[in-house]
């Protein structure tokens, strides 16, 4: 620890995983930290639902999976002496509906078929070192997946799969850039290795980090404006009916782009950075947690998770690691499926949703319990996670993470490799903390 760090202060805005990680890391280095969160809880898009289910079962209504190669979050989990539980060992399959019939297909097989169709673009993208500021990315980023589909003679199954990927990307083919699809396939199919949840609930991670900050964490404190100078940063905060200004040497904005673009920032961000935040979309998503009196979806040698082109989106066993005869099934309806699922649930309750699961062996009765969370209706987030659509200029992506004077940025949307994952949020928090430390030493 150096004296220069002990003499400095930082305000972190947003108590999701990115903000919590950055705040704890900088506090460890001796900086005076204040963490501001507009909501009445920590965790951001990590939300474990514990009430309303039989026999004390619980499930994740927000961020859920940790992959075996998510190094930063795994290291952080170990440091808090938490434990990971392996889940969905058979990976994801695809359940594709056509003509009233649902066919189950191999996940690996479908991803391989898609990779073959994208092969020339994947090669060009890799030759360009997967850069988002070059001509290859510009061409791919300007086209939607839907436009590419129209130009190709794809099989019916591949077309259905591409619709079903809205349960992963949170965007339908018309709203997803071809670059995003090529980038994902070039990196490998998702969930290829082991997948995990945190034993006891994913919210144990943000709660554990928050406990380390004690009274330096201020809930129900909404940031309204930021005033920057060469010497410091001032933040206007509203807590209840009171507004005040706080000052620090540095500020980290660890909040979604949907909130950053509502802030009054003076002097204004560079035009490229402002454009990056203003044009970045967040995918609509509704997660439905259905508890049943038995796990009817369990079959020998069959996956416990499927991507589907059904209006309910993707689905998986949400608590296979928990005891009890009952089980919880998660429906993750991304893109246009979010509205469709919400509408069906409002009209028919769980019964209508259960009817869409008959192909999975669902019983002809309502679920024991149902909980539903629609993330685009959350005023602090307005969506699930960042989506790079054809309206986003790829060369602006680096601006999402680029410091602006004493103002720094974190969040899953700033991560290049792990965007959309909890690991991306954690990694970005560590990055922002490292950048501030480097800035202090450099000055």
For the annotated binding site for FAD, the residues are: 223
Closest to 157 (Cα-Cα) out of 206, 104, 221: 104
Annotated binding site: 223
DSSP letters spanning 69-95? T-HHHHHHHHHTT--EEEE-TT-EEEE
Q: How far is CA 354 from CA 36, 52, 296, 319, in A?
A: 41, 18, 12, 18
What's the rounded Cα separation, in Å, for the pair 376 and 385? 10
Structure-derived torsion over alpha carbons of residues 281, 421, 167, 43, reported in degrees to the nearest 10: -80
> What's the rounded Cα separation, in Å, for the pair 214 and 383?
29
| First-to-final CA distance of the chain | 16
Instruction: Give burial (CB, 10 Å; 0-12/13-18/19+) of 156.
Output: exposed
Query: Contact, 329 vs 313, CB < 8 A?
Result: no
Provide the 8-state DSSP code for 375. G
| DSSP bridge pairs for 292 | 327
At residue 229, what are phi and psi to the nearest 5 degrees? Answer: -140, 175
d(CA 67, CA 329): 20
Question: How many angstroms separate the Cα of 12 from the Cα of each of 26, 37, 73, 218, 236?
Answer: 10, 9, 19, 10, 13
User: What are the residues whose beta carbons fall under 8 Å from the beta carbon of 140, sequence distance 6 or more?
Assistant: 121, 125, 177, 178, 179, 182, 394
Calpha distance 86→73 (Å, rounded): 15
- 31: Cα separation from own chain's centroid: 29
Burial of 17 per CB tally in 10 Å (0-12, 13-18, 19+): buried
- What b/e sequence results for 333-346 when a residue is b if at least 16 CB atoms lie within 10 Å of its CB, and e otherwise? bbbbbbebbbebbe
Rounded to an integer, what distance in angstroms lies between the CA atom of residue 183 and that of residue 222? 35
């Amino acid at each position: 620890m150096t004296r220069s760090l002990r003499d400095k202060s930082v305000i972190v805005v947003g108590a999701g995983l990115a903000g919590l990680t950055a705040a704890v890391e900088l506090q460890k280095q001796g900086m005076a930290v204040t963490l501001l969160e507009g909501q009445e809880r920590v965790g951001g898009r990590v939300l474990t639902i514990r009430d309303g289910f039989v026999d004390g079962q619980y499930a994740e209504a927000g961020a859920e999976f940790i992959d075996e190669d998510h190094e930063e979050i795994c290291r952080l989990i170990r440091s808090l002496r938490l434990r990971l539980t392996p889940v969905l060992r058979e990976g994801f399959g695809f359940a594709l509906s056509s003509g009233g019939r649902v066919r189950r297909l191999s996940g690996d097989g479908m991803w391989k078929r898609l990779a073959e169709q994208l092969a020339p673009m994947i090669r060009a993208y890799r030759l360009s070192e997967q850069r988002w500021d070059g001509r290859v990315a510009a061409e791919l980023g300007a086209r939607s997946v839907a436009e590419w589909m129209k130009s190709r003679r794809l099989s019916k199954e591949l077309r259905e799969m591409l619709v079903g990927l809205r349960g992963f990307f949170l965007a339908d083919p018309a709203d997803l850039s071809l670059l995003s699809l090529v980038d994902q396939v070039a990196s490998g199919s998702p969930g290829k290795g082991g997948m995990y949840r945190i034993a006891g609930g994913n919210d144990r991670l943000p709660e554990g980090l928050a406990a380390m900050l004690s009274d330096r964490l201020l809930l129900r404190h909404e940031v309204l404006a930021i005033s920057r100078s060469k010497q410091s940063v001032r933040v206007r905060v509203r807590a209840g009916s009171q507004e005040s200004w706080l000052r620090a040497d540095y500020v980290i904005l660890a909040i979604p782009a949907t909130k950053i673009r509502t802030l009054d920032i003076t002097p204004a961000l560079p035009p490229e950075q402002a454009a990056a935040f203003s044009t970045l979309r967040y995918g609509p998503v509704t997660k439905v947690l259905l508890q049943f009196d038995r796990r009817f979806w369990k079959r020998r040698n069959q996956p416990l998770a499927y991507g589907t082109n059904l209006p309910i989106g993707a689905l998986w066993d949400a608590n296979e690691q928990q005891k009890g005869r009952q089980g919880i099934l998660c429906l993750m309806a991304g893109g246009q499926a979010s509205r469709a699922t919400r509408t069906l649930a409002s009209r028919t309750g769980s019964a209508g949703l259960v009817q869409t699961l008959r192909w999975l062996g669902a019983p002809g009765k309502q679920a024991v319990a149902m909980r539903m969370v629609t993330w685009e209706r959350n005023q602090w987030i307005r969506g699930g996670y960042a989506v790079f659509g054809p309206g986003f200029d790829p060369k602006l992506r680096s601006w999402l993470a680029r410091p602006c004077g004493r103002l720094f940025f974190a969040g899953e949307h700033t991560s290049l490799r792990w965007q959309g994952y909890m690991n991306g949020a954690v990694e970005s928090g560590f990055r922002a903390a490292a950048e501030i430390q480097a800035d202090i030493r450099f000055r």
